[in-house]
A and B are shown apart, each in its own frame.
Chain A
Amino acid sequence: MKIIIVGLGKVGQKLAERLSQEKEHSITVIDLRQPVLTDIVNAHDVMGITGSGASMDVLEEAGIRSADILIAVTESDELNLLTCFLARKLGSCNTIARVRNPEYKKEIQLFREDLGLAMIINPELIAAEEIARLLRFPSAVQIDTFAKGRVEILKFKIASNSPLCDLKLLEISQKLGCNILICGVERGDEAFIPRGDFMLKAGDYVSVVGTVRDATQFIKKIGLKTGKVKNSMIVGGGETAVYLANHLMKAGIEVTVVEQNPDRCDELCFLLPKATIINGDGTENRLLMEEGIDSAESFVALTNMDEANVMLSLYAKTRTEGKIITKINRTAYDEVISNLGLDTIIYPKDLTAEYILRFVRAKNNSIGSNIETMHEILDGKAEALEFNILKNAPVANKTLETLPLKQGVIIACINRQGNIITPRGKDMLLPGDTVIVVTSHKGFSDISDILR
């Protein structure tokens, strides 16, 4: 597909990197800053054009008339919308705009319709939704949902006293009697798509796929907490905090927001009338103690400083047993940070890029089937994809044991009109199903890709 990316911020760069790895796309990037463009063109197989995305000449040069998708992710919401508007007028591509200013919250629907946008993304909102989901299920490090929320992939750590320790995968369903499937294991830097004889060890991060109910049951049986948190302490009162607090309060969770800037606090009071707004420096231990960090069931570090977020979270970990979530903007040091022993780290930029990638993959559908949902799991080393099975798909109407699957591919779950089936060898994929596939391969765009 021909894809144009306007704006090379962190999200734009991430998209250029990921999309150029999938060789079938032709990617053109547009940015005003020549040095950034040069870097990207040197590092990836993309074409760079200097200029503004809202200029007709520049868009023409980038080949807007034959483009399939235009993604506008510059800093400015208005420029993004204008670019998408122009792109629609000049060509017939799908347009995606990043709009983050909450002031446009109500207008977004109007923009989408009148400007013909295929998608509007709001990174803060995406991050907030992700965090809210995690707080509803605090034992998990990462939660991804499929089949319209019916199926979840949960990632959690095996503690040294867990019943799963030194257990082979085959023995798990016998011992615990749960209808779940372990679809991925991370041990140190390595990630596995395990087979039945794989032995689990303490310290592994395990990704489990199953229906929400089965997964909850499973978590309970292995002795982890399942209930949602009762209260949450948020440090940093940015947009993400507002979206998050709204979400949490709707779910009946008590929220305390600590924000340094008194003016912003006034605004927060207005935006979040039911939350407790504390004006103070979140990095002051005494303040956090006073506001009850010791009894907080969850702690979310959302300041604009990555370093402060890391330090805050490490401190919070010494004071509370609760769930700790850390927001990190820069992905450059993710390996260092993941070794610090923090619970869950949220990368809003990655989430945004992943969101867009999912859309691109879905647009790239072919006749046989298409992608419904896509998530990166196992620390980006594997993907979980949900495919629609269409009538003439090559895998349809065959029992699973007869399908010649590639190495490192497992069929994790079948959703047949809302019934979730944990697949066994005799099961078949039928047209109309959606199927969740976990794979260590990257860039699958069609269900037939799982075959050898």
Chain B
Amino acid sequence: MNYRLIFHTLGWVISFEGICMLLPFACALGFLEQNPFIFLICMGICLLVGIPLTLIRPKEKSMFAKEGFVIVALSWIFLSIFGALPFFLSREIPLFSDALFETASGFSTTGASILPNVEALSKSMLFWRSFTHWIGGMGVIVFLVALLPLSGGDNMHLLRAESPGHSVGKLVPHVKSTAKILYSIYIGLTVLQFALMMADPGMDWFTALTLTFGTAGTGGFAILNSGLATYSPYIQWVVTVFMFIFGVDFTFYYCILMRRYKTAFSMEEVRTYVGIVLVMTALICLNIFHMIGNTADTLRHSAFQVASIITTTGYSTMDFNLWPQFSQMILVGLMFVGACAGSTGGGMKVSRVLVLCKSVLKEIRVLTHPKCTTRVKLNGRPIEHETLRGITVFFISYIFIFAIALLIISFDNFDFTTNFTAVAATLSNIGPGLCGVGPTANFSGYSPLSTMVLTLVMIAGRLEIFPMLVLFSRKTWKR
């Protein structure tokens, strides 16, 4: 294990987080808050820890898969710990485990909250909370790789461990340029959404910015207790569309920019994703029409909720806890599917679900025609056996982690739906679940043990499980 390289990279990550705190600090100054220097203090702590670590020069610059996993997993854990400092030190969230939960929920773009009353937080804290979504959406390591001459930064292992998807590839030959392109698209879309939000006359920049951050990272922290219910239909539509947009594989946008329209529109995953969204929206529309009674509103609420859950954002315009069971079940199903690989969304990813379904069909075919030779294909190309195995193992680990977390949090004695959807909502980085953790409720009822477990589950979900498993595996640390 290359410890020097790990410490060096961690140093950069922590310093980077410190610098990010300049923005909420400016925000605190702007709103003339009582305690504006809390972010400056936290930034000082980050830099004090981070900069000495960056001075540890790695002797051996080559990085292997093991280091890639460990660096990414540790980075995210430390990001959450240091990111929790402002909440904790300002006493706005008095319990450290709660503050940690809130931050991890932010960075992992989950959007689950332990705050009973969000509106009680100061504006700078709200800003920081939403900003962590934006940072976490595309990933910190990707950002550092794009900007810094990071040791081992021209290495795919880091990017692969942090980016969602079963086969993370490059858009262009250089890792650095790939990271730059991803972030440019991300920033471009963010700016576009912000501009469209500001077009609403009733919108102030603070709300627009925090909501945009939450949408872009597919996070879901709202700044009102009522979520997005009180905003105008226009804003709700803009958010719906952009949640959907950020759930699409960014390779799609790159192909569009490169004018490779044919490649873009033949991406099977994106097509399936669009199909799922359309069909599910239609089904929910039919199911809840009698509750709302007017077509435009029905369509808006269904589309919003479907986009919000499938992209794992977790905003809500309506308490879907009150919807009929059929619609609720659709939403729970969408929680597991998640967005496209290579997007900012979480969940198992449409491509994985697609491949799993195709493997089942293939097995059925082989059972009926035992001598039949057939391969599972995606985008018209046969999938390597290794990839297929990776996807199956991912699915199994997903279920295992799910079961273990469910078992531990059941100590708190909530009902099954609450516990089940709480784990689903955190593991898939969505935010709200059903019943006790529904869109109008929150996670404040859980004990510190459960919040700690769910914190780890959120980070594991964001990093797609394996980096965390590698980190906690004894074999990794054996000499």
B173–A27 contact, CB under 8 A? Answer: yes
- Whether A42 and B156, one on each chain, are in contact in the complex, defined by CB atoms closer than 8 angstroms, is yes
A interface size (C-beta, 8 A) = 13
Cβ of A129 under 8 Å from chain B: no
**Measured CA separation A42–B172 after assembly (Å):** 15
Residues of A within 8 A of B155 (CB): 42, 45
* Cβ contact within 8 Å between A45 and B384: no
Residue of A at shortest CB range from B170? A47
Residues of chain A with a CB closer than 8 A to B177's CB: 26
Question: Closest Cβ of chain B: how far from A213's Cβ, in Å?
Answer: 46
Q: Would A46 and B173 be within 8 Å (CB), given that A34-B384, A41-B156 are in contact? A: yes
The minimal Cβ–Cβ distance linking A280 to chain B, given in whole angstroms, is 47
A45/B65 in contact, CB under 8 A: no
Contact B154 A45 (CB under 8 A): yes
Which of A26, A42, A45, A50 is packed against the most chain B CB atoms within 10 Å? A45
B370-389 vs A, Cβ < 8 Å mask (1 yes, 0 no): 00000000000100101000
Contacts of A28 in B (CB 8 A): 173
Segment 452-472 of B: residues with Cβ below 8 Å from A: none
Q: Does B174 contact A (CB under 8 A)?
A: yes
In the complex, what distance in Å separates the CA atom of A288 from the CA atom of B80? 73
Tell me the complex Cα distance, A403–B176, Å.
35
C-beta contact mask, A1-41 vs B, less than 8 Å → 1, else 0? 01000000000000000000000001110000011000001
Look across to chain A and name the residue whose beta carbon is closest to the beta carbon of B153.
A45
Size band of the B side of the interface? 10 to 19
Q: How far is the CA of A27 from the CA of B173 in the complex (A)?
A: 6
Q: Which residues of A contact B170 (CB under 8 A)?
A: 41, 47
Q: Are A26 and B174 closer than 8 Å at their CB atoms?
A: yes
**Is the CB of B157 closer than 8 A to any CB of chain A?**
yes
Q: Can you name the residue of chain A whose Cβ is closest to the Cβ of B258?
A: A63
B154 / chain A contacts, CB cutoff of 8 Å: 45
Which listed residue, B65, B157, B173, touches A47 by the CB 8 Å rule?
Answer: B173
> Which residues in chain B, 379-401, are within 8 Å of chain A measured between CB atoms?
381, 384, 386
Q: Taking the nearest CB of chain B, how far is it from the CB of A352, in angstroms?
A: 22
Complex Cα gap A113–B384 (Å): 40
Q: Say yes or no for B303: interface residue by CB 8 A criterion.
A: no
Shortest Cβ gap from B153 to chain A (Å): 9
Q: Evaluate contact between A47 and B172: CB separation under 8 angstroms.
A: yes
Residue B340 interfacial (CB < 8 Å): no
The answer on a CB contact under 8 Å between B157 and A45 is: no
What are the residues of chain A within 8 A of B386 when measuring CB–CB? 34-35
Q: Given the complex, which residues of A lie within 8 Å of B174, measured CB to CB? A: 26, 45
Residues 149-187 of B, flagged 1 when their CB comes within 8 A of A and 0 if not, give 000001111000000000001101111110000000000
Residues of B contacting A61 in the complex (Cβ-Cβ under 8 angstroms): 263
Distance in angstroms between the alpha carbons of A2 and B155 in the assembled complex = 19
- Residue ID in chain B nearest A50 by CB atoms: B381
Which of the listed residues B65, B154, B156, B384 has the most CB atoms from chain A within 10 Å of its own CB? B156
A41 to chain B, nearest CB (A): 6
CA distance A61 to B263 in the complex (A): 9
Which residues from B are CB-within-8-Å of A26?
172-174, 177
* A39-69 Cβ-contact flags toward B at 8 Å (1 or 0): 0011001110010000000000100000000
* Alpha-carbon distance A61/B264, docked complex (angstroms): 12
- The residue that B173 contacts in the complex, of A34, A35, A45, with Cβ under 8 A, is A45
User: Bound complex: CA of A354 vs CA of B157, how far in Å?
Assistant: 29
In the bound complex, what is the Cα–Cα distance between A34 and B390 (angstroms)? 15
* Min CB–CB distance A1 → chain B (angstroms): 11
Smallest CB separation, B122 vs chain A (Å): 44
In the complex, the answer to whether A42 meets B173 with C-beta atoms within 8 Å is: no
A34 partner residues in chain B, CB cutoff 8 A: 384, 386
Q: Of all chain A residues, which has the CB nearest B160? A: A42
A330 shortest CB reach to chain B, Å: 21
A47 CB contacts on chain B under 8 angstroms: 169-170, 172-173
How far apart sit A45 and B263, CA to CA, in the bound complex (Å)?
A: 24
- Kindly provide the distance from the CB of A17 to the nearest chain B CB, expressed in whole angstroms: 12
In the bound complex, residues from chain B placing their C-beta under 8 Å from that of A27 are: 173
Max chain B Cβ within 10 angstroms of own Cβ: one of A28, A35, A46, A50 = A46
Compute how far the CA of A395 lies from the CA of B177 in the bound complex, rounded to whole angstroms: 33
What separation, in Å, do the CA atoms of A34 and B385 have in the docked complex? 10
- A35–B387 Cα distance when bound, in Å, is 11
Q: A26-B173, A47-B170, A47-B172 are in contact. Are A42 and B157 (CB under 8 A)?
A: yes
Set of chain A residues within 8 Å of B263, measured between Cβ atoms: 61
* Cα A300 to Cα B205 with chains together (Å): 79
B389 to chain A, nearest CB (A): 13
What are 23 A-B interface contacts by the 8 Å CB criterion?
A2-B173, A26-B172, A26-B173, A26-B174, A27-B173, A28-B173, A34-B386, A41-B156, A42-B65, A42-B155, A42-B156, A42-B157, A45-B154, A45-B155, A45-B174, A45-B175, A46-B173, A47-B169, A47-B170, A47-B172, A47-B173, A50-B381, A61-B263
Chain B residues near A (Cβ < 8 Å): 65, 154-157, 169-170, 172-177, 263, 381, 384, 386
Instruction: Please give 20 more A-B residue pairs, beta carbons under 8 A apart, in addition to A41-B170, A47-B170.
Output: A2-B173, A26-B172, A26-B173, A26-B174, A26-B177, A27-B173, A28-B173, A34-B384, A34-B386, A35-B386, A42-B65, A42-B155, A42-B156, A45-B154, A45-B155, A45-B173, A45-B175, A46-B173, A47-B169, A47-B173
In the complex, the 10 A-B pairs of residues with the closest C-beta atoms, listed nearest first: A45-B154, A26-B173, A47-B173, A47-B170, A27-B173, A34-B384, A46-B173, A28-B173, A45-B175, A45-B174
Residues of A near any B CB (own CB < 8 A): 2, 26-28, 34-35, 41-42, 45-47, 50, 61
